[in-house]
């Protein structure tokens, strides 16, 4: 893997294409995209050999499942599942406009899932389901941490395991947008009772989580085994530490930045955190 990969989000109205994530996989680069053809939104992955002058992307994977509204791929990460090398990628499920429905619980749909693609035969499998909008993904050996947007409240940090269901749109610690106060919550206020996996942590109110990275211990003797979360609406970073089994959050510290932070990358040699700042299209640099 390269030291520094910048994730880009480009809304190209002429091509009707939304680029969501870039992943450097050895000498190739994977590009997750969503495209609109004949009023049908699809998701796909393109691949190109790394070249600093020109990237010639070719189709690698494309879902034939059609949606009427804009869709997103959140993140991609390399992963080996059952000794098979592949790619994990997330796809959102939340629906704001009728007549479409939320598909996070539908086993026949690619949406609202963490998906796995075999690099050899390009076959797609559902890795986990019940996700609303996975915005950040961290993978280390068998450990998978996903951070995702809740509705009005209820942003989640999840430890993701194969075959598990994370509850959306049935259970959430947030509430439905554009609905007035009611004595009865719209979503169930626990996950386990209803057969779903509980989040490691849920932010109420929402902070609009966007990415999670592990900060190497060479950054600071004060930051040992720490993770960094970026946020959009909260315009802050969060320094987080989990217990050794990744079963709970031990603490978090809010670090105010003042801009919406879309992405994070760490440069090991320079001991520097790079921030993709959304408001003005800038790159922020945090170093010792």
Where do the domains of the chain lie, and which CATH numbers do they carry? 72-287 (2.120.10.30)
Output the pLDDT for position 4.
Answer: 30
Give the pLDDT of residue 251: 97
Instruction: Provide the pLDDT for residue 155.
Output: 97
**Residue that the structure tokens 């939320």 belong to:** 102
Contacts by residues 270-275 (CB-CB < 8 Å, ≥ 24 positions apart) = 271/218, 271/219, 273/215, 273/219, 273/228, 274/4, 274/6, 275/230, 275/237
* Residue 192 phi, psi dihedral angles, 5° rounding: -60, -40
In this structure, the number of other CB atoms found within 10 A of the CB of residue 47 comes to 18
Query: What is the model's pLDDT at position 52?
Result: 79
Residue 11's pLDDT is what? 34
Rounded distance, CA 53 to CA 201, Å? 43
| Per-residue pLDDT tens over the stretch 9-42 | 333 333 344 445 666 655 566 556 566 666 777 8
pLDDT tens column, 82-111: 999 999 999 888 766 566 688 999 999 999
| β 209-215/143-148 pair status | unpaired
Q: Which residue has the higher pLDDT, 170 or 45?
A: 170
Q: pLDDT tens, 70-87?
A: 677 778 899 999 999 999
């Amino acid at each position: 893997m390269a030291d520094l990969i910048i994730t880009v989000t480009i809304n190209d109205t002429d091509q009707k294409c939304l680029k969501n994530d870039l992943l450097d996989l050895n000498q190739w680069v994977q590009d997750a995209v969503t495209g609109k053809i004949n009023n049908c939104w699809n998701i796909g992955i393109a691949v190109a050999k790394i070249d600093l002058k020109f990237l010639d992307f070719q189709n690698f994977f494309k879902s034939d499942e059609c949606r009427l509204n804009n869709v997103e791929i959140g993140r991609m990460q390399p992963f080996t599942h059952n000794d098979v090398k592949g790619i994990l990628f997330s796809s959102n499920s939340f629906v704001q406009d009728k007549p479409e429905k939320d598909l996070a619980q539908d086993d026949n749909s690619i949406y609202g899932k963490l998906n796995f693609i075999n690099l050899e035969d390009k076959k797609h499998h559902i890795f986990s389901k019940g996700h609303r909008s996975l915005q950040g993904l961290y993978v280390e050996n068998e450990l998978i941490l996903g951070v995702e947007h809740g509705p009005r409240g209820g942003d989640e940090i999840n430890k993701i395991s194969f075959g598990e269901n994370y509850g959306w749109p049935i259970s959430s610690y947030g509430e439905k947008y554009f609905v007035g106060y009611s004595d009865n919550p719209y979503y169930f206020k626990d996950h386990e009772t209803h057969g779903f996996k509980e989040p490691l942590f849920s932010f109420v109110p929402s902070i609009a989580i966007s990415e999670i990275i592990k900060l190497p211990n060479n950054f600071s003797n004060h930051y040992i085994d720490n993770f960094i979360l970026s946020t959009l609406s909260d315009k802050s970073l969060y320094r987080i530490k989990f217990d050794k089994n990744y079963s709970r959050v031990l603490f978090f510290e809010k670090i105010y930045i003042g801009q919406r932070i879309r992405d994070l990358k760490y440069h090991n040699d320079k001991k520097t955190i790079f921030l993709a700042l959304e408001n003005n299209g800038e790159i922020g640099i945090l170093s010792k």
